[in-house]
Amino acid sequence: MKGLLGRKLGMTQVFTTDGELIPVTVIEATPNVVLQKKTVETDGYEAVQLGFEDVKERRATKANIGHCKKADTAPKRFVREVRDCELDVNVGDTVGVDMFEAGEQVDVIGTSKGKGYQGTIVRNNAHQGPKTHGGSKNIRHIGSLATNGITSRQGRIMKGTMMAGQEGGYRTTNPNLTVIKVDKENNYILIKGCVPGPKKGLVMIRTAKTSKGNKAPVTLIDYTVNEEVSE
């Protein structure tokens, strides 16, 4: 399994030479530093710990500063582990976007947008109550909770009942997304579709766990204009 940390910049669209429009998310992934290698003998499992984006020492904890000094690098803002990593790297090495290729299937992990406290209609797509005849005041309120359709035997709220509550702000994974383009010079990846989180949110790209195979890469239209220098 491969993994890389990056920052979501936003969404745009690209066109193939066949005229197909593809919505893509732009992820900036400057070279990640290998901060630690975990093994079965020392930690009980195998993993590679990556660090992304330098942070000033006065904004970092002493633990973060000391841990990153072992890799001879500055403290990092975003640190994550890649389990069962297939990359042959050592502490202090850097990895970049060139580990992925166009057409490869990946999973993108991030923190979803926080939307605050939401009612059951917004949060769970519940039905509204009746609005006619003026008798019902239960238009957007939650329905019956404790009966669960078994009035004589229930009398308690079941686990997993759809209710109002905090919406968003949790770790989520968008699986089986396709890499459209990898730009090693500018350190960014174009991934088809949307990924979790807001703009400038931190994400992790890893090899897809449930993919049925990679797809054929597409050829994008190149809008670069080569200016001819007249002698």
Residue-wise pLDDT for 140-195, tens only, equals 888 777 665 665 556 677 788 889 999 999 999 999 999 999 999 999 999 999 99
Q: Rounded distance, CA 109 to CA 209, Å?
A: 12
Residue-wise pLDDT for 1-18, tens only, equals 899 999 999 999 999 999
Burial-class residue 159 by CB neighbours within 10 Å (0-12, 13-18, 19+).
exposed
What pTM value is reported for the model? 0.84
Is the distance from CB of 36 to CB of 75 less than 8 angstroms? no
